[in-house]
Chain A
Amino acid sequence: MLDYLVRRILGTIPVILVISVVVFAFVHLLPGDPARLVAGMDATLEDVAAVRKSLGLDGPIWDQYWRFLSHAVQGDFGMSLKSRRPVITEIGERLMPTVWLTVFAMVWATAAGLLIGVASAVKRGRWQDWGGMFVAVSGISFPSFWLGLLMIDLFSVRLGWLPTGGYGTPAHFVMPSFTLGLGVAAVMARFTRSAFIEIAREDYVRTARAKGVPEQTVIWKHTLRNALVPVITMVGLQFGFLLGGSIVVETVFTWPGLGRLLVDSVAYRDYPVIQAEILLFSLEFIVINLAVDVLYALANPEIRFR
């Protein structure tokens, strides 16, 4: 197990390096001279040279990459062009709201998805199955910005129950996390259903019944425990989906998170912030997948003891 863990962690190093190259190259791949763009059309050549130096775009390319990498490792991504504050401070303020939003969304979506998926699988072909899958398909089909706006209209404007946006109290979490998690819950429900149906056909489920195990135990212990193995992988992939989705949801609900920071930075061409955010999102995804692999190994003894 420890062996497996160490191998998995070492395996992420090349991935992180490749991502750092892509993020570094990002500024160079933009059309035109980024230093000129940042400094403005009417800046003098000296100004442009100064901006180029402050962006770390002077000197040979490998030297630039090396400086970028060594600074990034220390958490130094330079200054935000918009706010003139260190990028790391900027991101630090926005990190936790996004983390809490995605975690809340993930937790409820996984729980609901599992329940609906198992219920649909057990009552396969009956009305519970049709109902569950109707909800799931609707959840996948609903665009989150549209759903978000509809909910604001109903619960905030008409009924006045929930705040239209912002961050702070638990009430602020309800609509954003629901909107963000709905698609994930739907995917989890469909995926759990098919995984469960497949496992339910396995010989060892029949063995459990042959032992006289009551049906509820057959479902929740013998079948679901095995169906969880593929479902865990799905959770990891869905986290990536959530990180992307948070950009839309944070904008709709004016959530002070990383997603909205990214949107704002793109609008302002705030390259240092964009670079740092892409790197951060990629790292999050890698860490989450690493965690998923560990969970996967815990759920699956064939990997744990290899």
Chain B
Amino acid sequence: MTLSAAASPAPTPLVQVRGLTVEFATEEGALRAVDGLDFHIDPGETLAVVGESGSGKSVTSLALMRLVEFGGGRISAGSILFDGSTGRRDLAAEPLEAMNGIRGNEIAMIFQEPMTSLNPVFTIGEQIAEAVRLHQGANDRDARAEALRMLEKVRIPEARGLLDRHPHQLSGGMRQRVMIAMALACRPKLLVADEPTTALDVTIQAQILRLIRILQEEMGMAVMFITHDMGVVAEVADRVLVMHRGKKVEEGSATEIFARPRHPYTRALLSAVPRLGALAGETLPRRFPLVVIEDGAAGVAGSTTQSPPQDTVRGDRPLLEVGDLTTRFDVRKGLFGGLTGRVHAVEQVSFDLRAGETLALVGESGCGKSTTGRTIMQLQTATSGRIAFKGRDIFAMAPAERRRLRQKIQYVFQDPFASLDPRLTVGFSIAEPLLTHELVPRAEIDDRVAALLADVGLLPEHAKRYPYEFSGGQRQRLCIARALACEPELLIADEAVAALDVSIQAQIVNLLMELQEKRGLAYVFISHDIAVVERVSHRVAVMYLGQIVEIGPRIAVFENPQHAYTRRLMAAVPIADPTRRDRDRPMLEGEIPSPIRRLDDLPVVRPLVEVAPGHFVARHPIGDFT
């Protein structure tokens, strides 16, 4: 890891990239994705390449592997000198066939999507063994033995049984371990990791990051780590390369970049990053410092201002009361589709929410946070329990009244690309709920849409356009405008900022908080991102296996976490500060347990215990916590 510092002065770089330019042919001419990039990677070091979407960081990694040609790209200029076993070679000039001897052998790569990066029709063992056979000329039996050794190396329990399994039988975290085993099977000198943990839960991310680091030390290889997550950068990097629009913005050691970013873009990027602990000691949420990243004639500029705390909670009676809410799904198997078990997605969840308040539901995949939101929204039928809006039980309401209630509760989804109809103008999408519920006379619709667009920071003339003309951040603004059209009092935001770049993410979070201040909106903020949750929420509920294990004021849960799971979850979050990294902190081992149970095996649920005013904790055994 720190080989570069320990080695003799200025080691020969393993990779020396000069003037790298990659172009893609488009109908409007050549699109330059990477433009005159220079950098190097020393043997044994970790270089993190950071940037937002469209910065060219992934294209750079694909160019290094010469995989960019298969995606329609072309290295139009520059050199990639690689210090391989057969001497120094310029990979940019190698014939494509010659790259087969280097790929997977001397340079290996792992990708972002472990769910789709393994071939579904071949066994795990075969997929690892293939690389060994190809590059080391091993026979079937030796290759299989080596595959087993690699699976053990990436700490997969019962590795022998896994050899003959297929990828769909494995979780995302396990598949990423298999990918790593495959990549490292031939002991490469360089591992290129393209967002390898982005699709994973934080606790699994922490495990994978630790695994990569341990293997890197064992094998003495260099790692080129592509990520958009500054927390991960701080966690892994020796040196950092910041990219923006295909160009290098800044390069330096990790501690230097984080402590003294020289370029305005780096500064803007860093200030937009949600940092866990940024609001330590404060009781109320507070907006992100305003970040403006502009790419005008004067280059990139960033500016920041501080905002006041979010003191918006109003009223003594709760707006929303959820009592012992349970949602289960049937699992059917076998010849006649007999009921064999149930998914206990939500198990006796209780909380309340006041006007102007934000309650965050946090937890990992399968913990039931989204199902809770969907059940409140009545997109999902509850198995049992009570949901009351303004004191009225919604399960007891007549269907017509319940439909009217739908206006008052609105939902914002994670994927702004999938949640707008591509064939309708955005003005129509926003106006549709107004028309359906007959809230506004037809003549006033246009004015109303214009006002809503202005509320979310867009222009009235945008109403005539189609979704493809907008960026991801703008689309999420449109989704928010549509949700606001019915004058809701409660907004359920389900991972509403998870798919966005950090700078956009900060803007959307600020927009949500501004709207809360203006309109007194209550939010159920569903998120896996603990650092964002710290920014927005007045109160936090931590979910695990369908149950709330801890709920209370944000400051209490974050600064005085009482449940072991909450503590482990917090510890797994990478902190965007390389000087604070603690690589040996305890973490959750193994997989996230499954919420599927046999019919006769009901989970234990007991009332939470109040440890401080408003701060409740589960004291009964749940899952791995006994």
Contact = CB atoms under 8 A, between A and B. Distances in A.
Contact of A204 (B65, B100, B119, B134): B119
B458 interface: no
Given A10-B335, A203-B116, A210-B104, 5 more contacts: A7-B335, A203-B111, A207-B117, A207-B179, A225-B121
A108 B119 CA distance: 29
Interface in A192-213: 202-204, 206-213
A207 B119 contact: yes
Given A211-B103, A212-B105, A301-B166, A204 B182 contact: no
Contacts of B117: 203-204, 206-207
Which of A213, A214, A229, A301 has most chain B Cβ within 10 Å? A301
| Majority DSSP secondary structure for residues of B touching A | loop
A213 B113 contact: no
Contact of A212 (B111, B122, B134, B169): B134
B67 interface: yes
A205 to B, nearest CB: 8
A302 interface: yes
Interface string A276-306: 0000000000000000000000011110010
A206 B70 CA distance: 8
Contacts of A214: 97, 100, 134
A260 interface: no
B37 interface: no
Contact of B119 (A226, A302, A305): A226
A46 interface: no
24 contacts: A3-B334, A7-B335, A203-B116, A203-B117, A204-B116, A204-B119, A206-B111, A207-B111, A207-B118, A207-B179, A209-B103, A210-B111, A211-B130, A212-B100, A212-B103, A212-B104, A212-B131, A214-B100, A225-B119, A226-B120, A301-B121, A301-B166, A301-B168, A302-B168
Contacts of A203: 111, 113, 116-117
A222 B119 contact: yes
| 8 closest A-B pairs by CB | A212-B104, A211-B104, A212-B103, A301-B166, A204-B119, A203-B116, A210-B109, A203-B117
B166 to A, nearest CB: 4
A304 B108 CA distance: 32
B101 A212 contact: yes
A212 B102 CA distance: 7
Contacts of A229: 121
A209 B113 CA distance: 16
Nearest to A208: B119
A41 interface: no
A204 B168 CA distance: 13
A213 B100 contact: yes
A30 interface: no
A213 B65 CA distance: 13
Interface in B82-129: 97, 99-105, 108-109, 111, 113, 116-122
A124 to B, nearest CB: 11
Contact of A210 (B101, B108, B334, B335): B108
Nearest to B99: A212
B116 A202 contact: yes
A213 B70 contact: no
B18 interface: no
Interface residues on B, range: 20 to 34
| Majority DSSP secondary structure for residues of A touching B | helix
B70 A3 contact: no
A300 B121 CA distance: 6
Nearest to B168: A302
B563 interface: no
Nearest to B114: A203
A302 B103 CA distance: 29
Nearest to B102: A212
Nearest to B132: A211
A226 B134 CA distance: 21
Contacts of B153: none
A203 B196 CA distance: 13
Nearest to A218: B70
Interface in B261-277: none
Given A203-B116, A225-B121, A210 B67 contact: yes
A6 interface: yes
Interface string B322-336: 000000000000110
Contact of B134 (A3, A211, A222, A299): A211
Interface string A129-152: 000000000000000000000000
Contacts of B104: 210-213
Contacts of A211: 103-104, 108, 130-131, 134, 182
Nearest to B71: A206
B160 interface: no
Contacts of A215: 97, 100
B135 interface: yes
Nearest to A4: B335
Contacts of B121: 225-226, 229, 299-301
Contacts of B101: 212
A229 B109 CA distance: 27
B169 A305 contact: yes
A305 B389 CA distance: 45
B224 to A, nearest CB: 13
A210 B65 contact: yes
B332 to A, nearest CB: 12
Contacts of B102: 212
A300 B168 CA distance: 11
Interface in B464-511: none
B120 A302 contact: yes
A213 B108 CA distance: 12
A215 B109 CA distance: 17
A77 to B, nearest CB: 33
Nearest to A200: B70
A211 B127 CA distance: 10
Contacts of B70: 206, 209
A193 to B, nearest CB: 18
Contacts of B111: 203, 206-207, 210
A10 B335 CA distance: 10
Contact of B120 (A204, A206, A210): A204
A299 B182 CA distance: 23
A215 B70 CA distance: 11
Contacts of A3: 334-335
Contacts of B179: 207
Nearest to B65: A210
A225 B335 CA distance: 29
B620 to A, nearest CB: 35
Given A3-B335, A302-B166, A305-B166, A213 B130 contact: yes
Contacts of B122: 225
A122 to B, nearest CB: 12
Contacts of B135: 212
B335 A6 contact: yes
A35 to B, nearest CB: 44
Contacts of B116: 202-204
A206 B168 contact: no
Interface string A205-242: 01111111111000000100110010000000000000
Interface string A31-70: 0000000000000000000000000000000000000000
A229 B111 CA distance: 25
A212 B132 CA distance: 10
A299 B166 CA distance: 12
B575 to A, nearest CB: 30
A29 to B, nearest CB: 35
B324 to A, nearest CB: 34
